[in-house]
Amino acid sequence: MPFLKECDEMTKYDIASASYDELVQFVREIGEKPFRSRQIFGWIHRNHATEFSEMTNLSADSRIKLMQHAELNKITMITSEISADLTTKKYLFKLQENGMIDSEGSFVEAVLMTHRHGLSLCVSSQAGCKMGCDFCASGIGGFHRNLTAGEIAAQYYAACRDADKRIGNIVIMGCGEPLDNYDNVLKFINIVCDDRGVGFGQRNIALSTCGIVPRVYDLMKENLQITLAISLHAPNDQIRRKLMPIARKYSIDELLTAGKAYSTIRRVSFEYALFSGVNDSVANARELTKRLAGINCHVNLIPGNRIPEKGYTKSGRKAIADFAEVLTASGFQVTIRREFGSDISAACGQLRNKYKCTHTVK
């Protein structure tokens, strides 16, 4: 019984992070019929059950077995904030450990955004972050731990319950570096895309990375149809190394070579946050066009969020427009991201840090 051997009275099986095949094996080990696997998987990933007692088409004995041997590793919504224009809602969740609220007060965030084409949810993959990007609030306070596949999915399920409707797009772009939590993130994608659960379309999922180059090549081998968004934020190594420590390990040429390889499978999106006087000049834009030449890509320009802890200010509208014009004139497809939730600390890590600074963690 490989699954049950891993568990004891204090550590139960994390059933929400199980793939369907793993769930089939687990159900068999606890003496249940195979058809229970589809029922349980559906309750967790289609009906978003948070308690075994909700699984009403299971017998009382079956539910007791699940409570004895497994846990639904839930997250707890601590607070939420909605923007004045009603387009953005940010959730703050507290993680659990072995069925109990995390004693170290580990928080993650998710952001629900309303677009013309529907709803999109940005989820977190780690509590904190190791990458240390100079303009990002996610890593303030350090790295706590990776999220499980079930905890990543739980953010989506909680937001769906709150919105009372299906959310059609998922962006793995919240707190943490997804490719630093590769196995759990990949498992999350496979679980939510399983037709026996959510049945999410891979093309409606985007994964953002700061540039762990070997993992980009690993991701290519998975044959997924997700969109890869590469956080570039600079046209050269000199600027990028100041903004992003990962650039000291992998050069911009190495990263763009990996991005170009991935773009042969599916078009890549390059994320470029613009900060006043740092990376937003016309000369920077011209250099960027040369770097990206020959790559099947889209460029997403982001007005950089003001991060008081880091001292960065976003570029002005004219600087952003001039930057975009250079790229567009060179034949690139460019969008300027709408500013979502600037009045509710919607940038990665901001609400988490604000809450931790004003509340005693219990």
Q: Which of 32, 109, 151, 271 is catalytic?
A: 109
Angle at which helices 182-192 and 149-163 pack, to 10 degrees? 40
Q: How many CA atoms lie within 13 A of 93 on its CB side?
A: 28
Contact between 226 and 205 (Cβ < 8 Å): yes
Q: Which of 122, 193, 297, 348 is catalytic?
A: 348
Q: What is the SS3 assignment for the chain?
A: CHHHHCCCCCCCEEHHHCCHHHHHHHHHHCCCCCHHHHHHHHHHHCCCCCCHHHCCCCCHHHHHHHHHHEECCCCEEEEEEECCCCCEEEEEEECEECCEECCCCCEEEEEEEEECCEEEEEECCEECCCCCCCCCCCCCCCCCEECCHHHHHHHHHHHHHHHCCCCCEEEECCCCCHHHHHHHHHHHHHHHCCCCCCCCCHHHEEEEECCCHHHHHHHHHCCCCCEEEEECCCCCHHHHHHHCHHHHCCCHHHHHHHHHHHCCCCCEEEEEEEECCCCCCHHHHHHHHHHHCCCCEEEEEEECCCECCCCECECCHHHHHHHHHHHHHCCCEEEECCCCCHHHCCCCCHHHHHHHHHCCCC
Contact between 179 and 213 (Cβ < 8 Å): no
Q: How many other C-beta atoms are found inside a 10 Å radius of the C-beta of residue 19?
A: 14
348 is catalytic: yes
The residue whose two tokens read 């099986």 is 13
* Active site residues per annotation: 109, 348
